[in-house]
Structure 1
Amino acid sequence: MDSEKRRRYQTAMVSTYYPDTSFLNRLVMPDVTEQSPGPDILTTLHSGKVFIVNSRKRNGLILFKRYHAEFAGPGAAVGGDYDYDCQRALSIGNLHLSTPESYEERQKAYLIRRQWIRLIKQITENPIPQQRVQKILDQFEQYFPPEIVANLPDSAFALLVGVLPQTVGLVRRLGNEVNCRLNY
């Protein structure tokens, strides 16, 4: 009987598993979030030059790599050798990139990028997927207006914190109810 239950459970898991990991090709941003200066943001990132996300604006980039995504927020370096493997980029807010004026400015931007990566790493260290999603949503809502965060695709948050897009959708719909259920 236990083996029968286990087989049904495994079948259910397979049927709800998200087999299509190529959802990057279908990322669509609603009109609420302004797109980067032209659709050539990926070309700009692959140019080999280093840019800095404007630190005086509420803007940033979600950079989609092959198996994960990274967030480069205000003050962070993007482009150069750092993002040669970037497959897609999603701008958040009114993106403005500048070129570093000096070696020191470039180094500072790399340090800031590393800080953004560490923030996401701290979130992903939580073993409970729903809590990771809630934490990344909370962090983004601290930096950006709620209407912009609400219009970011589930798949973007999923790749940032290593969960399925359905988990992000569930947490967005149910909010803290999901976390309360996990604590029982």
Structure 2
Amino acid sequence: MDSEQCQRYQIPMVSTYYPETTFIDYLVMPDGTEQSQGSDILTLLHSGKVFIVNSRKRNGLILFKRYHAEFAGPGAAVGGEYDCDCQGVLAIGNLSLLTPESYDERQKAYLIRRQWIRLIKQITENPVPHQRVQKILDQFEQYFPLETVASLPDITFAMLVGVLPQTVSVVRRLGGGIESRFNY
């Protein structure tokens, strides 16, 4: 054969997977300030102890994992083995963490955490990204003041419902009537 005469093209393999880096090292808030994810709350969560987000206050934690984010709302357990892979946190509202006083209190907090996860899961099951964003924004706006929700970076909602931050930005900019602007 003429294999010696044929030029072979080698395509260099380029990997975009960087195992030692994280998707989110810090958050840039809408006012331009940076919030480090190496906070005291994260250190507390990595201590191995279990805490409960105070159910008597409108507060919660966004827990940034490697490829997604989770919301732990009032009454939910945080920390312990469950959040040892947490890479960053963002407190919402006037955060208050309590220490469970009994086994039953701890178990109840874990059940509540599962309920918060199920709520987000229901939202992410929608195949239309813009609708997922609108639904998570609606949920947060029902529970937290509008200015609090508006102050959260796009990346936060993007990681909660599995969309690009640009999608969150478009939905926020165009508002609730976005479905009429897109042909589905």
- Which position in structure 2 is the counterpart of 1:119? 119
- Which position in structure 2 is the counterpart of 1:59? 59
Gaps of 5+ in 1: 1-20
Amino acid at match of 1:69: A
CA distance in 1, matches of 2:48, 2:23: 26
More helix by share: 1
Tell me if structure 2 keeps the 8 A contact 1:61–1:72. Answer: yes
TM superposition outliers: structure 1 runs of 4+ over 4 Å: none
Q: What is the deviation of 1:24?
A: 1.5
Percent of aligned pairs sharing the same letter: 81
Q: What is the deviation of 1:77?
A: 0.1
- Which position in structure 2 is the counterpart of 1:14? none
- Which position in structure 1 is the counterpart of 2:50? 50
- Which position in structure 2 is the counterpart of 1:26? 26
CA distance in 2, matches of 1:136, 1:182: 19
**Structure with larger Rg:** 2
Amino acid at match of 1:73: G
CA 63–147 in structure 1, closer or farther in 2 if over 3 Å, else same: same
Q: What is the deviation of 1:25?
A: 1.6
CA distance in 1, matches of 2:183, 2:58: 34
CA distance in 2, matches of 1:176, 1:121: 21
CA distance in 2, matches of 1:25, 1:110: 27
Q: TM-score, structure 1 length as denominator?
A: 0.82
CA distance in 2, matches of 1:54, 1:30: 27
CA 66–131 in structure 1, closer or farther in 2 if over 3 Å, else same: same
- Which position in structure 2 is the counterpart of 1:173? 173
Tell me if structure 2 keeps the 8 A contact 1:23–1:155. Answer: no
CA 157–105 in structure 1, closer or farther in 2 if over 3 Å, else same: same
Q: Deviations over 1:115-171 (max 9, x none)?
A: 000000000000000000000000001110000000000000000000000000000
More strand by share: 2
- Which position in structure 1 is the counterpart of 2:70? 70
Structure 1 residue 148 corresponds to structure 2 residue 156: no
Q: Within 5 Å, give how 1:118-137 maps onto structure 2.
A: 118-137=118-137
